[in-house]
Amino acid sequence: MRRFAARLLIPLALALGLTAPAHAGLKASANGGVNDYQVVLFLDDAPKTNTWGPTTAVLRAEDRTHPSTTGLPATFTSAVSEWYGWSNDLRANANIKVLASVDPTSFPLGTDPNQSWYSGYYPILWTNTQYKMLYANFGHNAMDYGSNTRLSSTFASPTQNGFLIDGLKWLGGVAGSPAPTDPISETTWYSLADSANGARVDARAAATANGTAIQQYTCNGTTAQQLREAPGRYHFTARHSGKCLSTTSSAANGVQLVQRACDNSAAQSFHLTAHP
């Protein structure tokens, strides 16, 4: 991982007019060896639990006011990684501020059922307010160990890389990225198109009754295929009926979505996830 990190970070350092020497082991940090550096980066781990095999996760930004996270969306998909759990609950330490954690939509997390996470709270990015430090709890790309072939990169997510870059800028005293603006307007009607086949989200037969099935259908330009979001977590309102896109009480795959009178419930609340 050190080699791959160097490919990302050394060009960044040079662009900022900085030097970025890399050392193996901790000997260089002994006896004041780091005193002349603005930023010191350690690649290490000692977790209590871990997932396997490496996979992406949806991460939720818990604090987007920190200089390292102002450029993050509310949720985003990470690069492929092995994920780590710790002995202590970091939230119990008043000096630690969690910046991002695993979003529950990621579960089950892992590819081996015996080494996957199915629930729980797992901080991924945090800072200790007593120091100028950041911790990024990810790493270990996927490998084909039989042929020693790398199958992924820890630095394949531009959004995740943005956190690393803005974090390093903050640690080094350089301004980070501006906060992103929300591209979705609450006063504009949208059609939702599937990237694979171009079909639109559609209220079946343009019906306006509660329980009307929401389906995919060829684009026809009608108001039954137009939705508008509401503030907070996204609530999608059908233009032709004024009712909200809604799930049912079941969490099973393949369950039909419907429209119902808007009630601000969790069943009508959706969040958008940025993908690399």
Query: pTM for the full model?
Result: 0.60
- Tens digit of each residue's pLDDT (9 = 90 or more) over 50-87: 888 999 999 999 988 899 998 888 888 899 999 988 88
Q: Give 9-15 contacts, CB < 8 A, sequence gap 24+.
A: 9/41, 9/164, 9/168, 12/165, 12/168
| Ordered structural domains, the chain, with CATH | 2-171 (3.40.50.880), 200-268 (2.80.10.50)
CA distances (Å), origin 209, targets 141, 206, 221, 259, 260: 49, 9, 20, 8, 8
Predicted confidence (pLDDT) at residue 275 exceeds the cutoff of 60:
no
What's the pLDDT score for residue 223? 80
- Tens digit of each residue's pLDDT (9 = 90 or more) over 81-113: 999 888 888 889 999 999 999 998 899 999 999
Greater model confidence, 63 or 6 = 63
